[in-house]
Amino acid sequence: MACSWTATSCLTSPRTIPVGAAGPHVRSQGCPLGRAGYTALIINPLIYAEVSIGCTTIEALDAALPATLYRREPLPWEAGFLAGKSFVQYRRRGGLRTAPLPDFYIGAHAAIGRLALLTRDAARYRSYFPKVEILAPTKRGM
* pLDDT above 80 (res 116): yes
Q: Which of 32-41, 58-67, 79-88, 95-104 has maximum average pLDDT?
A: 79-88
Inter-residue contact 28 to 122 (CB < 8 Å) = no
At residue 86 the predicted structure's pLDDT band, cuts being 50, 70 and 90, is very high
Dihedrals phi, psi of 70, to nearest 5 degrees? -125, 115
Of 140, 135, 120, 116, which Cα lies nearest the Cα of 30? 140
Q: In the prediction, which pLDDT does 102 show?
A: 87
* pLDDT above 90 (res 131): yes
The CA distances from residue 88 to 38, 85, 116, in Å, are 31, 5, 23
Q: In the prediction, which pLDDT does 83 show?
A: 94
Q: Is 120 exposed, middle or buried (0-12, 13-18, 19+ CB in 10 A)?
A: exposed
How many CB atoms within 10 Å of residue 114? 10
